[in-house]
A and B are shown apart, each in its own frame.
Chain A
Amino acid sequence: MRYGMGPEVLRDVSFHLAPGSFHFLTGPSGAGKTSLLKLMFMASRPSRGLITMFGRDIATLPRDELPDLRRRVGVVFQEFRLLDHLTTYENVALPLKIQGRTEASYRADVRELLAWVGLGERMQARPPTLSGGEKQRAAIARAVVAQPDLLLADEPTGNVDPEMGKRLLRLFMELNRLGTSILIATHDQALVSEAGAPELVLKGGRLTVRG
């Protein structure tokens, strides 16, 4: 993959994530972790190569079939990308609303999840008034609320203390136990060793598997 006419950021990257697997994605800054995730949540299309998600080639997928695929993927963006004009509750409930579910059907679930990530008191707050850690947890809650088949998280524990980091890891593992494949891009070696999951290491645009 490349951006515009720039050099290829990723090349000869080949891997397969089995359904229900749990992987970390590590590597030095600028190695292409975020680019790889972008390809996987279909924000960018590959300039060459084959990416198959849930049995579909996403490079050639027609535009109107993207939403169905994206709904099966939960994403925690590195910069959170919460919607500032909505409350924390509305932000977290967004994927369910987009799926066309009525508020009555998900209100209790969303509240429970928010309480679980420690945002029970901040439900009506808007993202600009949240701390970095709170935003991160809201972003994670939004990514997992619809129980996606695949969760992609970009530095999900970068802004929280180690205690909350462990708590969030437990959330990911719980989700994984329920059948969601997890891929977490991180610099946090403590998190990786804590989970004991295999590691995909990106370096110089190439990928190796460790563990």
Chain B
Amino acid sequence: MAESDDTAPDLDAVSERKGLRALVNTLLVETRSVMPAAGATGLSLVLVIAAMCFLASLALGAALSVAHVTAGWTSDLSGAITIEVKQSNEMSSDEQVRAILYILSDTKGVKSARALTKEDVTALLEPWLGAGNVTDDLPLPHLIDVRIDANAPPDLIALSDAISMAAPGAVLDTHRQWQAQLLHAARAAEFLAYAVLLVVTATTIAIITFATRAGLSANREVVEVLHLTGARDKFIAAEVQRHFLHLGFRGGLIGLVLSVATFLLLGLQSGGTAGEPSLFMLPVSGLRLGDYPALIGVPVAAALVAVLTARITVMRTLHRLL
């Protein structure tokens, strides 16, 4: 935006820049436009777009991160099922456990099965009931922890039937319900993140539309002179959208840097002992290396959105003039 008075005619050097450098220059160095730059609104508009891109990057990062976490859960939980043996009048618990272990040892797809000892169950309950509060007269169920081959799982319905036939009062818990609820929460968080992304995009479009309209009406005189000199709407739009290309890209870069810093910080924290930071009660453990390219898409998308919005707005606004 800062233009010195001697830029115009001495552009010999510009034509010599080529390739990547030319591209970088196009994106970062704004050449003088025939349309006056937005002037004072330029910086504030960059900041607004930066804020929008920061939010967009956060939302996108959160969505990706949540997707990773849930993918992990699905594979973790699918590998484990639990059989709960309730006390029954027909058989003693130990007999039931023995019968079930016998069935499991004969079932394909079961990697291992282990009956939890009373101490194990007590250890599981202590965090809730308090140490020493698990008394002997508390009717504790017997639990059998079963590891199954997630790639070739056993027929769980048949297994469930077989178990309840052999041991009345035994229930196969596939963790499905727990898993479904967790996944549901995660999907909701992911959906929310994408919704934020959508709202941020829509807001950006609205802001740029207003800024473009304001710029055009502030420069009505310039537009009229350009028209009378034979400029097509496309020419004016090109001049205006060049300005917004820079605004969008600069704002996007600032937002990207801020959001990457935020994610790196989150990643550092989760590396520590204080437990993972969370988003909507779901752990957000930084970003994977493979996610950063997606974030780099944010400033590019911002520049694209800015350019397209400005172009469409200019074309539509000018069409209403003579």
| A interface residues, Cβ below 8 angstroms from B | 41-43, 45, 63-64, 66-68, 70-71, 75, 81, 83, 85-87, 89-90, 94-95, 97-99, 103-104, 107, 111, 123-124, 126, 142
Contacts and interface: CB of A to CB of B under 8 A. Distances in A.
Given A83-B222, A86-B34, A87-B5, A95 B229 contact: yes
Contacts of B231: 67, 98
Q: Looking at B34, B221, B226, B230, which has the most chain A CB atoms within 10 Å of its CB?
A: B230
B228 A75 contact: yes
Contacts of B72: none
B13 interface: no
A104 B10 CA distance: 10
Contact of B9 (A43, A97, A107): A107
Interface of B: 5-6, 8-9, 11, 15, 32, 34, 36-37, 221-222, 224-232, 235, 319, 322
Given A67-B231, A94-B229, A95-B229, A89 B9 contact: yes
Contacts of A90: 8, 32, 34
A35 to B, nearest CB: 15
Nearest to B232: A67
12 contacts: A70-B227, A70-B229, A70-B230, A83-B225, A89-B8, A94-B226, A94-B229, A95-B230, A98-B235, A99-B230, A111-B9, A142-B229
Nearest to A126: B5
Given A89-B8, A89-B9, A104-B15, A43 B230 contact: no
Contacts of A85: 36-37, 222
A111 B34 CA distance: 19
A98 B36 contact: no
B8 A81 contact: no
A45 B321 CA distance: 13
B16 to A, nearest CB: 12
Contacts of B37: 85
A7 B90 CA distance: 110
Contacts of B230: 67-68, 70-71, 95, 98-99
Contacts of A107: 9
A87 B8 contact: yes
A94 B34 contact: yes
B201 to A, nearest CB: 31
Give the 10 A-B residue pairs with the shortest CB-CB distance, closest first: A71-B230, A70-B230, A85-B36, A98-B231, A67-B230, A67-B232, A81-B225, A95-B229, A90-B8, A87-B8
B5 A41 contact: no
A85 B7 CA distance: 13
B50 to A, nearest CB: 26
B6 A124 contact: yes
A95 to B, nearest CB: 5
B228 A41 contact: yes
A123 B9 contact: yes
Contacts of B319: 63
Given A67-B232, A124-B5, A126-B5, 16 more contacts: A43-B322, A66-B227, A70-B227, A81-B224, A85-B37, A86-B32, A87-B8, A94-B226, A98-B229, A98-B230, A99-B230, A103-B9, A103-B11, A107-B9, A123-B9, A124-B6
